Structure 1
């Protein structure tokens, strides 16, 4: 009985607040049309790959894979990085509620507290259009 309870709690803690596949796919679509992308200068550092991930974001997601530039251009590794980042920061500005795709999109675009930054609303609108189009 205790084993079943432990497995259930692990399942719930793993699933609670996790970014769903449709949200992840639309973030990818908005960033690069979900294509590999070489490094380019973006505000204060280089970003690259499917999700336009910067080196600091890669560090915050736990540095999966072999290196920043390799990981961000391997779709499964880039997905893992974004999922890890959202697991780490997804509740930073939600007041305890489960994060929504809007929260995740704005955090991806604006950092850990990006969902509070009005400058990320335009990015969210692009992700929302993708979600609506893919229904």
Structure 2
């Protein structure tokens, strides 16, 4: 009984470690490119901010990364981080690593899964993504 539990936990740990290796800098750049062409001049509109179009809930789920010594409880910290490329990338990495999911059910966690996870969140990442977004991710990853 304990052997099966340990084997299951070990197998899950290996899957997570393999998945984390797939979250490359190239993948992060491809997600940014597919969302906004990585336009770093974007501020906040409605409830989304920055080149990754991050919401405050996404930022909270990602552990509230901040720039320098900003206070994560400050009203300005979310917008400052989401509109700063380095802080936004940390936010995206944290979020995607936290919610690792095989969104397309093919048994492999790759950048396409991360892109869907970023777009829809963990509860809805099995949703069908727009062809343009899908193609931008696939083309970007294949060109490396």
Give the shorter-chain TM-score range.
0.7 to 0.9
In the other structure, the counterpart of 1:32 is 36
- 1:74-93 equivalent positions in 2, closer than 5 A: 74-91=84-101, 93=103
Q: Contact between 1:106 and 1:123, CA under 8 Å: does it hold in 2?
A: no
In the other structure, the counterpart of 2:128 is 118
TM-score by length of 2: 0.70
How far apart, in 2, do the equivalents of 1:94 and 1:129 lie?
17
- 1:13-32 equivalent positions in 2, closer than 5 A: 16-18=18-20, 19-32=23-36
Instruction: State the 1:24 CA deviation.
Output: 0.5
Give the number of the structure whose alpha-carbon radius of gyration is greater: 2
Q: 1:114 and 1:105, CA in 2 relative to 1: closer, same or farther beyond 3 A?
A: farther
2:114 to 101, 104, 109: 104
Aligned to 2:122, the other structure's residue is in SS state coil
**TM-align CA RMSD:** 2.5
Instruction: State the 1:34 CA deviation.
Output: 1.6
How far apart, in 2, do the equivalents of 1:60 and 1:120 lie?
25
Q: What is the number of equivalent residue pairs in this alignment?
A: 119
- 1:44-83 equivalent positions in 2, closer than 5 A: 46-65=47-66, 66=70, 67-83=77-93
Moved more, 100-109 or 66-75: 66-75
TM-score by length of 1: 0.74
